[in-house]
C-alpha cells in the first residue's frame, strides 16, 4: 500500500511528492477479508518486487524446433550448419590473408552480457544434450565468449537476426588466439599450423572434426548459464 503525506496534497500538477509503502497481512474473519497492521517496506524488498514483475526476468530459455533454438528479448541461441565460408586474418603469426575454408557446425549464442560460439562434431541440428566443443577460431576464449574488440555488432533492429550476427563475426579479422592454457585445436603445430593449412586449401575438403577440443560443455549447460544471467539480481 502506498501513502502520500497530507502536506503534499494540493501541489501543482507534475510536482513530485514524498510517498511511503507498507506491507499488510490479510486475514479472513467471518468471510470478510481484513487488512492487518502495516509494516514499512525496505528498499531491498521493493526492488525484489519490481524485479519479479519484470517480464524479461520471467522468461526461460527453452529449445524450439527451428534453426534458432531459443530466443527471448535479451537472448538468442542458434545453429549454423557446417559449410564453406570466407574467413579473414590479420594476425602476427599468419599475416593478413583470407580464404574460403570448410567449417564445422557451430552454435552461436547472445545473452544479456556476452556473445558465444561453440563447435559441433555432428552436422545435425543440436538438441539439449548435444556436446559442444571449443571454438577453433582466434579471438574466442575457452568458455566460448567472443572477444568483440572493434567488431561492428548488429544494430538493435537486427538483434534477433542470426545472419546479421554471423556476418559481423565472419567479416571481422581474426587477430590473435585467446586461449593460452591448452591447445586451440588438436593439430601438430597448433593453431597457427592448422589455420595455415586451412587457408592454403590443399589438405581439407571438409572440416576435420577430430581436431576439436572437448571443453565439457553441452547445450543444456549453456542454457543454464543463460538462465542464470537472465535471473541474476
Q: pLDDT of 119-140, one tens digit each?
A: 999 988 999 999 999 999 999 9
Q: pLDDT of 142-182, one tens digit each?
A: 999 999 877 888 888 888 999 999 999 999 999 999 998 89
> Domain residues for 37?
2-41
In-domain check, residue 112: yes
205 and 142 in a common domain: yes
75 and 35 in a common domain: no
For residues 67 and 162, the answer to whether their CB atoms sit within 8 Å is yes
Burial-class residue 180 by CB neighbours within 10 Å (0-12, 13-18, 19+): exposed
36 and 61 in a common domain: no
Residue 111 — very low, low, confident or very high, per pLDDT cuts 50/70/90?
A: confident
CA distance 100 to 222: 29
In-domain check, residue 48: no
Rounded average pLDDT over 103-125:
93
Domain count, the chain: 2
Q: pLDDT of 50-90, one tens digit each?
A: 444 444 444 555 555 578 999 988 889 999 999 999 999 99
Amino acid at each position: 500500500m502506498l501513502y502520500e503525506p497530507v502536506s503534499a496534497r494540493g501541489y501543482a500538477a507534475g510536482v513530485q511528492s514524498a510517498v511511503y509503502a507498507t506491507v499488510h497481512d490479510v486475514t479472513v474473519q467471518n468471510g470478510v477479508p481484513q487488512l492487518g497492521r502495516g509494516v514499512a517496506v525496505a528498499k531491498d524488498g521493493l526492488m525484489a518486487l519490481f524485479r519479479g514483475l519484470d517480464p524479461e526476468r520471467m522468461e526461460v530459455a527453452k529449445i524450439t524446433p527451428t534453426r534458432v533454438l531459443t530466443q527471448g528479448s535479451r537472448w538468442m541461441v542458434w545453429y549454423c550448419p557446417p559449410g564453406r565460408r570466407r574467413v579473414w586474418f590479420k594476425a602476427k603469426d599468419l599475416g593478413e590473408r583470407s580464404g574460403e575454408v570448410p567449417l564445422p557446425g557451430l552454435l552461436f549464442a547472445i545473452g544479456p552480457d556476452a556473445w558465444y560460439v561453440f563447435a559441433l562434431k555432428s552436422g545435425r541440428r543440436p538438441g539439449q544434450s548435444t556436446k559442444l566443443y571449443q571454438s577453433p577460431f582466434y579471438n574466442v576464449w575457452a568458455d566460448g565468449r567472443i572477444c568483440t574488440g572493434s567488431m561492428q555488432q548488429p544494430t538493435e533492429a537486427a538483434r534477433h537476426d542470426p545472419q546479421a550476427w554471423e556476418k559481423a563475426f565472419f567479416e571481422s579479422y581474426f587477430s590473435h588466439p585467446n586461449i593460452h592454457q591448452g591447445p586451440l585445436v588438436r593439430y601438430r603445430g597448433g593453431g597457427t599450423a592448422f589455420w595455415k593449412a586451412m587457408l592454403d586449401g590443399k589438405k581439407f575438403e571438409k572440416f576435420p572434426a577430430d581436431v576439436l577440443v572437448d571443453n565439457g560443455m553441452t547445450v543444456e549447460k549453456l542454457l543454464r548459464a543463460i538462465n542464470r544471467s537472465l535471473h541474476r539480481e
